[in-house]
Each structure stands twice: as structure tokens, then as C-alpha cells.
Amino acid sequence: MAATQDVKGKGEGGDQNFDYMFKLLIIGNSSVGKTSFLFRYADDAFTSAFVSTVGIDFKVKTVYKNDKRIKLQIWDTAGQERYRTITTAYYRGAMGFILMYDITNEESFGAVQDWSTQIKTYSWDNAQVVLAGNKCDMEEERVVSVDSGRLLAEQLGFEFFETSAKDNINVKQTFERLVDLICDKMSESLDTDPAVTSGAPTAKLTDSAPPLQQPGCNC
Amino acid sequence: MGQKTSNTTSNKAANSSFFSFLKRFSPPKPSSDKTTSPRTGIFAKLTPNKSMDFTRLISNCISFASTRTQEYLVFKDPEGKFLPSSQALTQVFLMTYITQSVNLDYTDTFNCTAMTPEQRILLGADWVWAILEKPTKNPKIQIAVQVLHLPEREEAEEREAEGKPVSESIQMAQMESRNKNAYERMVDFCTSIGKDCYALFLFFGKRDDRENIYGVLSNNFEADVGKLRSNSPDLSWC
């Protein structure tokens, strides 16, 4: 896995120069820890207070990978059913998903298949997915084994991590892996059919070189 | 279409229609058998007791927040140096309301979620009130609230903001939302949830009554969304 490097200290106004922009979504049942996961990654912060996300929200984080600046627009979705219409509207154009369940909540694991179907229904075929079993710091309350998670991920064709937003376990790695998968997919698509990725939904190009139109994308 | 809410600041006792609305969905009694800490001043007046029903508690908190906000709404600096911003007024209302509701300890039944700056743009709401189901704490009824300010206050702020840097995420949120105005976005948001999500437009002053707070509430604004577009940004149809 190629390492990505965080870019910190962006001030007001943001940085408009970037080579790629990836739209990512975090989805999964309510209270599995999606918002905490994003806060840990974007702000390196954690609070145990639970505030249910209303509708949808997002954060932006820029990472470097092989000298390319990649802007991640990470959408945090509400897990409750009542928000399903609004959240699925944002699936369109997403290049990657983190599908999250809670290792202490069997129901959230049981819902993974349904979430996977939602991705297939509302997203595009090339979207990459990482399955994340969150709250792995709560070993004593575990009801979903690591093997069950891994097996399900294999069956669905997803990568798999167990994570903890609280203890900062595998948070960065999950995002890095997802970015790697998206980059690999882009390169692969360019090798086979450049036309496929020229329509990549949110890969945004700078004024300079248009990487998506160059064969052998090396992000 | 819209259900007019009471003028919460001019007549605190008459918290009529908005609170009648809440009453329809409120739980039978607050779980306020638990002892509450003694409070002083205004809080003493709001201390829940067995006879005070849930609706009254919320009503008092909103009235108190409205009254506090009104103090700033009517403020006139003799030297003309201080003019509270729209954002400040909204924050005064919310902070006062939240302080009261936390003190009265009913937030596990009727909670208030302030939106992030990005959510305010994407969803059009400043905050969302929700009546929560027990024990799941899932919302049963929601009220998404958007505050509208006197046009001159907003115009002055827009002039002041011109040329100032805007954060990247705000720019992105604006890009995502560029096809609809804030009223339409909130109506869309409520409509996407269903009839158990109401939109409440709160007016902090209006042209012919600049010192009071008004509101219009409905779960059917989508029926008149054309009016929202044709009359924006004034919402003069209210």
C-alpha cells in the first residue's frame, strides 16, 4: 500500500490547487460511529458524547500520494432510515465508500448486506468499498468476530479493517486503503478504456495537467 | 397552508398555536420525578414540577430564548457602532434555549441539534428540534428551523463579507447547493423526510414590526414551493 501523507494547516479560503478530488461517503447503521470516525481522521479528535447526525454533513481533507495532491471530500451520512432519501441522493458521484458496522452490535452487522445493495443501487459500478468494523476497542462487548467481518467482506468483494475511532486504530489506514483502491481503479480503467474514467464523477482536475486523461495514472 | 405561530416575544402567556402543535405529539408527562437542583432567578420560574406539563416546559424555554433575543433585536446603539449580526442573534436564541432545556433536563425527550455551517447551507436549516421516541431515541417528529432576518441587516452583512475569504468546505457546500435557495433547500429537506418533519421559518423582526419574532410552520410547504422561488429573498408571502 502506498502511503499517503496528510496535509495540515490549511487556512481560511482553503487550497484550490489539487490534482484530484475524491468524493467519499461513510455509511452504515445509526450509532456505529461514522461521525466519530470522520472526526478522528479529519480533526484527530474524539468525544464519547453521541449526537445523531441530521441528514448529511461533510469534511474536507487533503492528502499527498506520490507527489499528487488529493482532496478528499468526505460525506458523513445519517444512519437513520428517515434520512434515506436525502443520503442516497449523495451517493451519486461517490468514488469510494466506507461501510461501517459496530462490532458490539449484531444488527448493524446484519445490515451490511442491505447497505451494500444501496451502494449498488445508487452509486456507480466503479465505486470502491472498504468494510469497517468499528469500536474494536470494546473487546469485552464484542458480538461480531473478526472472522465473520472478514468473511463477509470477502463475499461482498470489499476490503476489511477493524477500527476504533476512540483509540485511533486503523482510521488513517482505512482511508489510505480506500484512496489506494480508487487510484488503482482509475489506472486500471485508463489502461483499458480512457473514455471510462474521463467521466469519473468527481475527479476534478486542476488547470494544469489533466491526470485522468493521461495513461498510466500514477496517483 | 402555513400554520402561524404565536408572537412569542410580545405575548409570553399566549403560546398558542405552535405549542398546541407540540402538544399533539408530546409525551404524556415529563419524566421529571427525578429531583432537580434548586435554581435561582429565571431558572427558578422554569423548574419543572409534576403539574407543569412537557409542552409548557418547551414553551417557557422558547419564550425565554425569544425574549433574550429580542433584547438584542431592539438594541440601538446611540453611537451606531454596535449592530448584532444575524448570526449573533441566531446564536443568542439557540444558546439561551439550549441552556434552559439542559437545565430542565428534557433533552432526551425533545432535543435540539444545531447545524454545522456546512449543514446550514446544504439543508437550509439553522437547527432541528426533535421529539424523540423512547427508548430508541429516534426522532418521531422533527421541526427544522430556519431564521430569517430583516433584509437590511442581511444586506449590510453581505456587503461587509464581500472580499473576505470563505473556507473551502463552505465554498464546496455552496457549490453543491447552487441550484436552489435556502428556503427551497429546507423545504426539500423536510419533504425528503416526510410529513412528520415540519419546516419552521422564524422571522427575527419583520418590516411592519421590527421588534418581534414571528414564525410560520408547515409540513406542506412543498405545495407552494413556486412561491418560495418567485418571492425570494423576502418571503413577503408570509
Q: How far apart are CA A112 and CA A156, in angstroms?
A: 10
Which residue, A150, A95, A81, is CA-closest to B136?
Answer: A81
- Cα end-to-end distance, chain B, whole Å: 10
**Per the CB < 8 Å rule, is B119 touching A56?**
yes
Domain boundaries, chain B: 49-231
Closest CA to A190 of A161, A219, A153, A162: A219
Hey, CA dihedral for A197, A201, A202, A206, is it positive or negative? positive
Residues of B in contact with A61 (CB under 8 A): none
In this structure, what DSSP letter does residue B189 have? H
Residue pair A38/A59 in contact by the 8 Å Cβ criterion: yes
What mean pLDDT do residues A111-116 have?
A: 98
Return the pLDDT at A151. 98
Q: B7-11 long-range contacts, Cβ below 8 Å, gap at least 24?
A: B7/B212, B7/B213, B7/B214, B8/B62, B8/B63, B8/B66, B8/B213, B8/B215, B9/B63, B9/B66, B9/B67, B9/B69, B9/B70, B9/B211, B9/B212, B9/B213, B10/B212
Distance (Å) from the C-alpha of residue A36 to the closest C-alpha of chain B?
15
B137–A54: do the CB atoms touch at under 8 Å? no
Is B113's CB within 8 Å of A73's CB? no
DSSP for residue B35: -
Question: Would strands A128-134 and A159-162 be described as parallel, antiparallel, or unpaired?
Answer: parallel
Q: Note the maximum CA span of chain B.
A: 55
Which pLDDT does position B20 carry in this prediction? 61
> What is the model's pLDDT at position A28?
98
Residues 6+ away with beta carbon under 8 Å from A163: A37, A132, A133, A134, A136, A169, A170, A171, A174
Cell, residue B180: 436552489
Model pTM score = 0.81
User: According to the model, what pLDDT value does residue A147 have?
Assistant: 98
Of A30, A73, A86, the CB nearest to B172: A73
Averaged pLDDT for residues A128-138: 98
> Is B122 at the interface with chain A, CB within 8 A?
yes
Chain A residue at shortest CA distance from B170: A13
User: Hey, are the CB atoms on A14 and B171 less than 8 Å from each other?
Assistant: yes
Mark yes or no for CB contact A83/B171 under 8 Å: no
From A154's Cα to the closest Cα of chain B, the distance in A is 32
Which residues of A lie closer than 8 Å to B, measured between beta carbons?
10-16, 30, 51-52, 54-60, 73, 80, 82-83, 85-86, 89
Query: Which residues in chain B have their CB less than 8 angstroms from residue A52's CB?
Result: 113, 137
Tell me whether residues B192 and A13 touch, CB distance under 8 A.
no
Kindly tell me if the per-residue pLDDT of A1 is higher than 70. Answer: no
Q: Output the tens digit of pLDDT for each of chain B's 238 residues.
A: 444 444 444 444 334 456 566 555 555 444 444 334 444 443 344 444 544 578 888 999 999 999 999 999 988 889 988 888 899 999 999 999 999 999 999 998 999 999 999 999 999 999 999 999 988 889 999 999 999 998 877 777 777 777 788 899 999 999 999 999 999 999 999 999 999 999 999 999 988 888 899 999 999 998 877 665 655 544 543 3
Interface ipTM: 0.83
Q: Which residue has the cell 479560503?
A: A13
Residue B82 to residue A61: CA distance in whole angstroms:
37
pLDDT at position B152 is 75
Could you tell me if A6 and A69 are in contact, meaning their C-beta atoms sit under 8 angstroms apart?
Answer: no
Alpha-carbon distance A85 to nearest alpha carbon in chain B (angstroms)? 6
Q: Is A5 helix (H, G, I), strand (E, B) or coil?
A: strand
Interface of B with A in 74-113 (CB under 8 A): 113
What phi and psi values does residue B171 have, to the nearest 5 degrees? -60, -40
Chain B residue with the nearest C-alpha to that of A11:
B167
Strands B139-149 and B127-132: antiparallel
- 8 Å CB contact of B113 and A52: yes
Taking CB atoms and an 8 Å limit, are B167 and A30 in contact across chains? no
Confidence of residue A199 (pLDDT cuts 50, 70, 90): very low
- Alpha carbon of residue B185 to chain centroid: 16
Q: Residue A44: is its pLDDT beyond 80? A: yes
Q: Is there a contact between A13 and B165 if contact means CB atoms under 8 Å apart?
A: yes
Q: Is the pLDDT of residue A69 over 90?
A: yes
pLDDT at B224: 79
A218 CB-near residues (< 8 Å, 6+ apart): A66, A68, A187
Ordered structural domains, chain A, with CATH:
20-190 (3.40.50.300)
φ, ψ for residue A98, nearest 5 deg: -105, 110
d(CA B55, CA A134): 39
Nearest CA distance, B232 vs chain A (angstrom): 24
| Residues in chain B within 8 Å Cβ distance of A83 | 192-193
Closest-CA distance of chain B to residue A59, Å:
7
**Alpha-carbon distance A157 to nearest alpha carbon in chain B (angstroms):** 31
User: Which of A13, A52, A86 lies at the smallest CB-CB distance from B189?
Assistant: A86
Q: Report how many Cβ contacts below 8 Å link chain A to chain B.
A: 61
Query: How many other C-beta atoms lie within 10 A of the C-beta of residue B126?
Result: 24
Q: Which of B122, B138, B166 sits opposite A56 (nearest CB)?
A: B122
Q: What amino acid is encoded at A115 in this protein? A: W
Task: Give the distance from residue A24's alpha carbon to the nearest chain B alpha carbon, in angstroms.
Answer: 14
What is the average pLDDT score of chain A? 86
pLDDT at A81 over 80: yes
Prior bond of B233 cis (ω within 30°) = yes
- For B168, other C-beta atoms within 10 Å of its C-beta total 19
All cell numbers assigned to A105: 452490535
What residue of A is the nearest CA neighbor of B188?
A: A86
Quote the distance between the C-alpha of residue A170 and its chain's center: 13
> How many whole angstroms separate alpha carbon B26 and alpha carbon B48?
15
- CA-nearest of B127, B156, B152, B153 to B142 is B127
Interchain CB distance below 8 Å, B193 and A86: yes
Q: Which residues of A touch B173 (CB under 8 A)?
A: 58
Quick check: A95 pLDDT over 50? Answer: yes
Q: At what angle do helices A34-43 and A171-192 cross, to 10 degrees?
A: 90
- Cβ distance of B168 and A60 shorter than 8 Å: yes
